[in-house]
Homo-oligomer: A and B are copies of this chain.
């Protein structure tokens, strides 16, 4: 088992438990992100692109405009225009100018996109296990503390 101090080879003790939690949080998030990135890599898709596809599946068959995608993303300041363009080039989404409001661009996931998500879902076993080292009760407690932290 590796404590956060061991992971980053900390020489000195942390000032306090809060500082340590902040570092631990970011370190663990990176760890999780990298684990996710590596399982998606064989499908030639990044976690950010995957996230956008899942958002679009959530709304399917209704399209979403770019702004709606942005506000559902984990990282709000990411650039939906460019992410969507990457997905379009791969054939996973389609873009169309909205007829009633020509400023808007409507995005919809394609059949190909949906079937990619299905394939990834089906092999998610390994990924799911990587976070099942904690119990359901611990996951709930984690969610509670994280929600409180952001207040």
Interface residues of A (CB under 8 A from B): 1-4, 7-12, 16-34, 58-59, 71-75, 77, 128, 131-134, 136, 138-143, 145-151
A148 and B134 in contact (CB under 8 A), knowing A33-B26, A143-B20? yes
- In the complex, the answer to whether A25 meets B74 with C-beta atoms within 8 Å is no
- Are B143 and A4 interface neighbours, CB within 8 A? yes
Cα separation A72 to B1 with both chains bound (whole Å): 17
With contacts A8-B74, A29-B26, A150-B2 taken as known, whether A21 is within 8 angstroms of B131 at the C-beta atoms is yes
Contact of A29 among B9, B20, B25, B143 (CB under 8 A): B25
Q: Judge whether B17 and A140 touch: CB under 8 Å.
A: yes
Residue in B10, B20, B25, B72 whose beta carbon sits within 8 Å of that of A8 in the complex: B72
- A80 CA to B17 CA in the complex, in Å? 28
